[in-house]
Amino acid sequence: MTWFVPGRLEVLGKHTDYAGGSSLLAAVDRGVTVSLSDGDSGVTATSTALPGELRLAAGASPALPPGHWGHYVQSVLDRLALNFGDLRPARLVVDSDLPLASGMSSSSALVVAVALALIDHNGLRDRDEWRSAIADDIDLAGYLATMENGLSFGPLEGRRGVGTFGGSEDHTAMLCCREGRLSEFAFCPIVERGSVPMPEGWSFVVAVSGVLAEKTGAALEAYNEASALAREIVDEWNDVMGRSDATLADALASGEDAMLALEAITEHDEWWSDRLRAFLTESTVAIPRALAALRSGDVAAFGAAADLSHRTADEALGNQIPETNRLQALARALGAPAASGFGAGFGGSVWAMAPTADADGFAAEWLARYLAEFPDAAARATTLVTRPGPPAHRV
């Protein structure tokens, strides 16, 4: 049995999902492949990229360094065993053609691929516990996201995940996006709001900065701080307003004066004010403008929305770095009608739109100009050309 799970391109939607906002997403045509065969005991896992074999068992803590890919496999094992009982022995072989720690969600793709293989291997979709909680792929995306953030999902009890306090954007894109289209989803709960075709004759070029966007150490702390600030604002809102809203989106939907009230609550704290501005700009301004532009075929207006998103991420969210800022500016200078950093940030990658016929040439020139300014990134920086691909599927 083999599952392929694509990476995802977050066209727009920086740090919006866990706050109940919207994202504009695409699955890409690269990803993680997990092949599963029967095992003798426990679960063994190997990677085609690295030597050695991992021997894992539910509830056991592997002696692995922080950030090791085996922790993601272990989190899947632990959660499935907690929710559904003992799992059948299995052998897993992991392969990937996604750039690691680039913002294309290689870690979430690994979680989803391992989970899908083990779910099928153990017949979990036929269990009453499954049917009571998971009705479709949108539910499944929400459940798989809790394997990383450690939350419960309906009656399916949670336990500590991999230490990231994120949402379900990645998992939703991997399971629910459509080939050739960009899809808008809202979150908490997940709702598909619609999709638009990728403009004909255009492709995405992704430039990997060479600065790893690893969710460990300082990068993990910075990522979780953005999530924590959103929760702090909601907590303060609930205290002041006497409400029990779960997310920023819930607070904004509570009444016609909610936005003004939230701005008044956050204006005394620069961190809160910037975090609210980042959320509002991304979810209620940049994404609607981008969708309207794509529906009307106005590529220049789409580029203006992407510029706004990137600028706000740098100035208010604070998750861009000199390398990703320069990549975005270089792409625009080279004639790309739209470009933006994406993903968790604090490293990672930038996407740009380029004519499909010239995408490879654009990618080469973009990378060359970037490395001329940041030569220390040469060992890790790279580019790839992609268009929206199909969601996760059995191979």
Q: Token pair 């990703």 is at which residue?
A: 324
> What single DSSP character describes residue 285?
I
- CATH 3.30.70.890 in the chain is located at 202-393
Q: Please choose, from the candidates 208, 171, 178, 170, the residue with its C-alpha nearest in 3D space to the C-alpha of residue 387.
A: 178
Predicted local confidence at residue 98, as pLDDT? 87
Q: Please choose, from the candidates 126, 111, 133, 78, the residue with its C-alpha nearest in 3D space to the C-alpha of residue 8.
A: 111
Predicted local confidence at residue 310, as pLDDT? 97
- CATH 3.30.230.10 in the chain is located at 2-197
CA distance 246 to 231: 8
CATH of 202-393, one of 3.40.50.300, 3.10.310.10, 3.40.50.150, 3.30.70.890: 3.30.70.890
Give the residue ranges of DSSP H helices in the chain.
69-84, 106-121, 128-131, 137-149, 169-176, 217-241, 248-252, 258-266, 270-281, 287-296, 299-312, 322-333, 359-373
Percent of all residues in the chain with a pLDDT value above 70, rounded to a whole number: 95
Q: Token pair 């056991």 is at which residue?
A: 60
- Give the pLDDT confidence of 15-45 residue by residue, as tens digits: 999 999 999 999 999 999 999 999 988 899 9
Q: Please choose, from the candidates 236, 314, 305, 303, the residue with its C-alpha nearest in 3D space to the C-alpha of residue 278.
A: 314
- Give the pLDDT confidence of 85-133 residue by residue, as tens digits: 999 999 999 999 987 766 788 889 999 999 999 999 999 999 999 999 9
Q: Please choose, from the candidates 118, 119, 111, the residue with its C-alpha nearest in 3D space to the C-alpha of residue 69.
A: 111
- CB of 312 closer than 8 Å to CB of 16: no
Predicted local confidence at residue 215, as pLDDT? 46
Average pLDDT (183-198) is: 94
Kindly tell me if the per-residue pLDDT of 61 is higher than 90: no
CA distance 1 to 236: 49
CA distance 360 to 31: 20
Question: Considering the chain, what is the average pLDDT of its residues?
Answer: 92
Q: Please choose, from the candidates 349, 305, 293, the residue with its C-alpha nearest in 3D space to the C-alpha of residue 326.
A: 349
Which residues neighbour 339 within 8 Å (Cβ) at sequence distance 6 or greater? Answer: 303, 306, 307, 310, 327, 328, 331, 332, 350, 351, 352, 353
Print burial letters for 193-232: b (CB count within 10 Å at least 16), e (below 16): eebbebbeebbbbbbbbbbbbbbbeebbebbeebbebbee
Kindly tell me if the per-residue pLDDT of 197 is higher than 60: yes
Kindly tell me if the per-residue pLDDT of 162 is higher than 80: no
Kindly tell me if the per-residue pLDDT of 74 is higher than 90: yes
Q: Please choose, from the candidates 307, 259, 312, the residue with its C-alpha nearest in 3D space to the C-alpha of residue 282.
A: 312
Predicted local confidence at residue 226, as pLDDT? 84
- AA letter at 172: T
Kindly tell me if the per-residue pLDDT of 191 is higher than 60: yes
Average pLDDT (363-386) is: 96
Kindly tell me if the per-residue pLDDT of 163 is higher than 80: no
- Give the pLDDT confidence of 300-309 residue by residue, as tens digits: 999 999 999 9
Kindly tell me if the per-residue pLDDT of 222 is higher than 90: no
Kindly tell me if the per-residue pLDDT of 181 is higher than 80: yes
Q: How confident is the model at residue 225 (pLDDT cuts 50, 70, 90)?
A: confident
- Provide the terminal-to-terminal Cα distance of the chain, rounded to the nearest Å: 8
Predicted local confidence at residue 213, as pLDDT? 59
Q: How confident is the model at residue 64 (pLDDT cuts 50, 70, 90)?
A: confident
Average pLDDT (205-214) is: 83
- CB of 197 closer than 8 Å to CB of 225: no
- Give the pLDDT confidence of 253-304 residue by residue, as tens digits: 999 999 999 999 999 999 999 999 999 999 999 999 999 999 999 999 999 9
Q: How many CA atoms lie within 13 A of 354 on its CB side?
A: 28
CA distance 263 to 283: 16
Tell me how long the chain is. 395
Q: Token pair 């977050």 is at which residue?
A: 10
Q: How confident is the model at residue 166 (pLDDT cuts 50, 70, 90)?
A: low
- CB of 203 closer than 8 Å to CB of 354: yes
Average pLDDT (45-73) is: 87
Kindly tell me if the per-residue pLDDT of 220 is higher than 80: no
Kindly tell me if the per-residue pLDDT of 223 is higher than 70: no
Which residues on neighbouring strands pair with residue 202, listed in sequence order?
355
Q: How confident is the model at residue 346 (pLDDT cuts 50, 70, 90)?
A: confident
Kindly tell me if the per-residue pLDDT of 217 is higher than 90: no
Token digits of residue 92: 């897993």
Predicted local confidence at residue 216, as pLDDT? 43
CA distance 18 to 186: 10
Kindly tell me if the per-residue pLDDT of 351 is higher than 50: yes
Token digits of residue 156: 């399916």
Which residues on neighbouring strands pair with residue 353, listed in sequence order?
204
Quick one: CATH architecture of 2-197?
2-Layer Sandwich (3.30)
Backbone torsions φ then ψ of 183, nearest 5 degrees? -115, 140
